[in-house]
Amino acid sequence: MKNYYLLLCLFAFEVGMAQNKFPTKFEETRGRETVTYEEGIAYMQTLAKRFKTIQLQEIGTTDIGKPLHLAIFSLDRDFNPKSIKAKGRNVFMINNAIHPGEPDGVDASMMLFRNMATDKKLQAILKNTVVIMIPFFNVGGTMNRNSYSRANQNGPTAYGFRGNARNLNLNRDFMKLDSRNTHTFVDIFQTWNPDLYIENHVSNGADYQHVLTHLATQSDKLGGELGEYLRENLIPNLKLKMKQRKWDIIPYVNVYGNRTPNDNGIPQFFDSPRYSSGYTTLFHSLGFINETHMLKPFKQRVEATYDFMMAMLEHMEGQGKKIQQMRKITAEEVTKQEKFTIGWKMDRSQFDEITFKGYTPKMIDSKITGKKRLFYDRSQPVTKKIKYYNVFKPTLTVQKPKAYIISKAWYNVIDLLKKNGVKIQQLTKDQTIAIDAYYITDYKSYTRPFEGHYVHYGVKVKTVPQEVKFYKGDYVVFVNQPSNRYIIEALEPQATDSFFSWNFFDTILQQKEGYSSYVFEDIAEKLLKENPDLRKRFEAKKQQDINFRKSARQQLNFIYQNSPYYEKEHNRYPVFRYVKNQSLPVK
């Protein structure tokens, strides 16, 4: 017993020493300040120099031209992802400063790395887990330091800006990859294939007592055994571990404006793959977004973030093998899976009840506008059960093709697929192939740019079997891979964050040739005479549609579009679905 106490004292002494010797700026300022980019990197360099268990790597670049850093903690000093995986180690990935105005994770991770390197007690839970950490993902935003852009946030005194060097919100960039930052991120993610991913944020929205909320990936979307594990095991266990550390955590309070969680409950945030946790889901990696509450003091938020990462590490050490096993099975299953859901809708009829610790919301008179305004009365805290709508149902499911065939012309699309670890083959000779083509029959688009795009949504397609001439070297993507979910979300045009939605294929939406009516009149007459079926459809449409009857242009267009004169490329989606069973000449 005596020895035990002595040991404990030694541990405490050692951690205390480390803090004295390697204090972070956060600690030195008693939780008032966060590091600048230069300070943060210098600190991590110092740790990497001093401790053999830490390595700091420069990987790829970012939009501002500075490298993206990756810090690695590995107890047995092995920093090679391949051999680490071969040893069956868990990989736990942390991403910070994707939104640099929300820097809690930066300071918490610096302390975590220092303590992992110095605290023997902490090292006892790091025998099977390697931790990789991006100190600053949005480097440009971190360097754009100010004290105002987080108008609703309680510290630190200065911080970075949400937009990156190109004013992109990087947490919308995981499918379209407009930034070099995200290109580098994908390289890291695909190299390390983390079992668990956590990204540190600070919330916006409603006021309540909870310091930390979590936004795990939507479990129905994760699906199968992993989805159930996330919902039934991982989240309850994290909740318990956080409770032991005095934090009462609940799911992200996805409520804005004058709505309050107190009465309406909370709808679960739906993370399509433009978001990091939606992206990690496509590769069966358990993704967590950690949101501390903006109105809580910076010091408290960083401490909660630190504890949440610790709770994750503890969970990993005990359950990592099981998670790895489930991921392996899921990856095998998904290679054989036939149908994929790409549209989801919240099921309002199903919900969990959670204990919510809020403040009483009131509508009071505004001294500014003279109208009513929302006011959370902190003198009246309330604890109540509220509804948490966390079940999503499929609204659109597609049958996978055997393969997608893509012309070399769409090299940008091929580059992204390759970057994401998709195996791609190429046709070995010129050949006409019978495929299913999608025609885009309807879509809507944003009228103002969103993240540099006029995003499409409400996409409808019609499948038309046809023969298309392909050339040697054109690309064939077989849908029999562990990355099947990524392939489908990227290439099925109706998926929320498909390449089509993000404007990669907009040129096909424009007609390139046309006709002069006075010339086409005579051709149309001849066409109708020679084609009784076309005439029948034309007459029927005239009967049914009064606008059509009134419009000469519409009538001529109808005949034109049903004739060989109309270009088959117009609205034809250029990623073709190969659905036959015959093998293709590829290598």
The residues binding Zn ion (CB under 5 A) are: 99, 102, 201
* Residue number, 201 or 456, with CB nearest to Zn ion: 201
Task: Give me the phi and psi of 216, to 5 degrees please.
Answer: -75, 160
Residues across the chain: 587
Q: Which is nearer to Zn ion, 66 or 99 (CB)?
A: 99
Non-local (6+) Cβ contacts of 379 within 8 A are: none
Write down the least CB distance from residue 397 to Zn ion, Å.
Answer: 31
Distance set, CA 455 to CA 100, 147, 181, 473 (Å): 25, 32, 21, 31
β-strands 129-134, 67-73: how paired? antiparallel
Given a contact cutoff of 8 angstroms between Cβ atoms, the answer to whether 468 and 432 are in contact is: yes
In sequence order, what are the residues at sequence separation of 6 or more whose Cβ sits closer than 8 angstroms to the Cβ of residue 344?
A: 218, 220, 221, 270, 392, 393, 394, 395
Instruction: In angstroms, give the least distance from the CB of 99 to Zn ion.
Output: 4
Q: Least Å distance between CB 78 and Zn ion?
A: 33
Of 294 and 495, which has the nearer Cβ to Zn ion? Answer: 294
Shortest separation between residue 171's beta carbon and Zn ion, angstroms: 6
Cα-Cα-Cα-Cα dihedral sign, residues 485, 487, 490, 493: negative
> Looking at beta carbons only, is 48 or 294 nearer to Zn ion?
294
| Dist CA 35 CA 22 (whole Å) | 14
Please say which residue, 162 or 327, places its beta carbon nearer to Zn ion.
Answer: 162
Least distance from C-beta 135 to Zn ion, angstroms?
Answer: 16
The two structure tokens encoding residue 138:
């949005």
Q: How many CB atoms lie within 10 A of CB 13?
A: 10
Please, what is the minimum distance in Å from the beta carbon of residue 275 to Zn ion?
Answer: 10
Closer to Zn ion at the Cβ: 102 or 178?
Answer: 102
Closer CB to Zn ion, 200 or 571, in the complex: 200
**What is the smallest separation between the CB atom of 157 and Zn ion, expressed in angstroms?**
19
Neighbours of 446 (CB within 10 A): 13
- Token output for 168: 């992109």
The CA distance from 576 to 13, in Å, is: 65
Between 201 and 301, whose beta carbon lies closer to Zn ion? Answer: 201
Nearest-angstrom CA–CA distance, 178 and 452:
9
In the complex, minimum distance from the CB of residue 116 to Zn ion, in angstroms, rounded to a whole number: 25
Return the number of the residue (105 or 482) whose C-beta is nearest Zn ion.
105
Two tokens, residue 523: 């051709």
Residue 133 Cβ vs Zn ion, minimum distance, rounded to whole Å: 17
* Distance in angstroms (rounded) separating the CA atoms of residues 17 and 114: 11
Instruction: Please state the closest distance from residue 378 (CB atom) to Zn ion, in A.
Output: 24
Report the C-alpha gap between 166 and 150 in whole angstroms.
19
Structure tokens, 433: 């192939």
3-state secondary structure of 157: coil
Question: Are the C-beta atoms of residues 94 and 113 closer than 8 Å to each other?
Answer: no
* Angstrom distance (rounded) from CA 61 to CA 266: 38
Nearer to Zn ion, 102 or 271 (CB): 102
- As measured in angstroms, the least distance from the Cβ of 271 to Zn ion is 13
Q: Considering the complex, what minimum distance in angstroms separates the CB of residue 5 from Zn ion? A: 43
**Torsion of the alpha carbons at 359, 360, 366 and 368, rounded to the nearest 10:** 0
**Residue 141 or residue 361: which is nearer to Zn ion going by CB?**
141
Q: 15, 118 in Cβ contact below 8 A?
A: yes
Complex with Zn ion: residue 99 or 315, whichever CB lies closer:
99
426, 474 in Cβ contact below 8 A?
Answer: yes
d(CA 261, CA 121): 40
- The smaller minimum CB distance to Zn ion, of residues 220 and 451, is found at 451
Q: Which residues is 487 bridged to in the sheet?
A: none
Contacts of 182 (CB under 8 A, 6+ apart): 170, 173, 174
CB of 88 to Zn ion, least distance (A): 33
190: part of which helix (H) or strand (E)? helix 180-192
